[in-house]
Structure formats: structure tokens, C-alpha cells
A and B are shown apart, each in its own frame.
Chain A
Amino acid sequence: MAHPSTILIAVDPSENSDYCVHWYLERLHREGNKVIFIHVPEYWGDMAQRISPARLDVLWKESQYKAKQLKETYTKLATDGGLSSVEFLIEEGQEPWSVIVKASKDKKVDMIVMGSRGMGTIRRTSLGSVSDSVLHHSHIPVMVVHKPKH
């Protein structure tokens, strides 16, 4: 009954993502699983009117650099963990949840794995806005990885 699956893991530069990826490798990964990472860099488009083009360029370059770092880190972590099929997508988009859900359909994945929170600074809720939206819009199973507090 068990068969290899395609897993989409949504990541950002947060500690939650780091915990999430390790958790997947330790607890969920089965041999033969195909892993696709997806990172949606921060969208600076709506800031264009409020900040200088020079500052915008700096922010954009930072996002691209972080994205490249994430790609290197997680690809290495996965292949070191023995995975043979690893892909890392960097997809631009205004709404991360929408980019993630679209990628899950395009790549015909079986499950989405993501942290319960990401980089967002507002900690009032138990579930970040991206995770919340993906949960509500996904047609496939979603694994929400809560990071323990201790």
C-alpha cells in the first residue's frame, strides 16, 4: 500500500522552517519520496511608492541573496540526508499562499509541509497568515509543523 510521494516543503529564512525541514527528514521522509522546496521571496512591489528606488534595490538584492542561501542550505541538508530527488523553487509572488498552492498543483504534489509560522513579526496568533491561507485553500493534505517552545 505504501508508495513514494511528492512532498512540497515551503520554507523561508525563519527558525520555524529550519525546524520544519529537520522534522520532515527525521519523521516523515520515506525512501523514494521526491522533495520539492519552495521559497517565495518577500514582495516589495507595494513599497515602490513609499521608498526610494535605491532602497528598493537594496531590499530586493537582500531577498534574492537570502533566497540563494536557503536554496544552498536546504538542498545540501536534503542530499546529505540521503534524498535522491530534491528540487528547490524560488517563485516570486505577491501572496505566498497563492504561489505555494499553485506550485502544489503544477507539480502534482501529494502533500504540503510547512511551519506554523514564518518570518512575520506579529505573534498574537497560533498560526501565521501564510500557513492559515494555505490550509484553507489546499486541495491536498497539509502538515503544519508547530515548533515546540522549549
Chain B
Amino acid sequence: MSAVKSTKVLIAMDGSDPSLYAFDWYMDNIHKPDNSIIIAHVPDYKSLVKSPIISSDPALIAALMKEEEAEVDKIISKIKEKVNVVGVKCRMLRLSGDPGHAIVKASETEKVDCIVTGTRGLGTVRRTLLGSVSDYIIHHSHVPVLVCGHK
């Protein structure tokens, strides 16, 4: 008989509604008191500030970066608020680089047992049923992945 084990879960959250839904769904249907949760956030600068930086003006670039950071802080606050409302203890990891790649790498470094992700995120392209980051995670993860589709 298989003994019940406590599970380390990594929840990928970009602050989008699908990711908040995935978090809620995990808490409602999967979470067990012994489980430990890591929330992985990867700021995706491409989707935050839409304007391409063509200028070499340091002041403009600095202003744009400040704007990006403000957006990232907003998202992180949103995530923290969700976690506080639910009242569960989580560790938050802020990663950098390509979101899919960073999440899978973190799941290996942190030796998690499972990854939780929504089907889409903040990205604007809606041609596919599965967003590119979720798709990457499903195909490259070495541990089970929960893909939370929203009706």
C-alpha cells in the first residue's frame, strides 16, 4: 500500500485571472495541510510595456524601466493579496528570464513534486487553446503538471 506523502507544490503565477483561478482551484481541490507551496513569478517584460525601446536616451530608458518595475510590483501585490485572503503559508520566488524555462528550472532546483499552472496568462495572443508558457511547462516538466482550465 502506498503511504501518503506530503507534497511540495510550485504554483506558477503571473497575476492574470487564469493564474489566480489555478491557485484557488488548487486550494479547493488538491491542497492538503502537509503540502508546502512555492509561488513562482516570472515578470514577462514583453507583455508589460508594449512600446519598443528605440531610443538610446538614458532618461527615457530609465523611465520605461521604472514603469515596468511598477507594473511588476502591482502584480506581486495582487498575488500576495490573494495568498493572504486564502490564508495559507507560501514561499514566493521571483525569477527572471523566459517564463516557461525559468519555471521548469526552478521546479528542478527546488525539487518540487508537482507544478500548477493556468492554461493562459497575461499574453495577448489568443489563437491557441493553451498559452505558450503552459505549453512549455507541460512538455518540459519532469514532474506532474496540473493544468487548470477555466470553463
Contacts and interface: CB of A to CB of B under 8 A. Distances in A.
A140 B145 contact: no
Interface residues on B, range: 20 to 34
Interface residues of A, number: 31
B143 interface: yes
Contact of B145 (A2, A27, A144, A149): A144
B114 to A, nearest CB: 7
Interface in B125-148: 129-130, 138-148
A135 B148 contact: no
A2 B138 CA distance: 26
Contact of B31 (A2, A135, A142): A2
A81 B5 CA distance: 13
B3 interface: yes
Given A29-B4, A81-B2, A139-B151, A23 B144 contact: yes
Interface of B: 1-5, 7, 25, 27-32, 86, 113-114, 129-130, 138-149, 151
21 contacts: A1-B28, A1-B86, A3-B28, A25-B4, A26-B2, A27-B114, A30-B32, A81-B1, A111-B146, A126-B139, A135-B147, A139-B149, A140-B149, A141-B29, A141-B146, A141-B148, A142-B149, A143-B145, A144-B144, A146-B143, A148-B143
The 6 A-B pairs at the shortest CB distance, nearest first, are namely: A145-B144, A141-B148, A126-B139, A26-B2, A27-B7, A143-B146
Interface of A: 1-3, 5, 22-23, 25-30, 80-81, 110-111, 126-127, 135-136, 138-146, 148-149
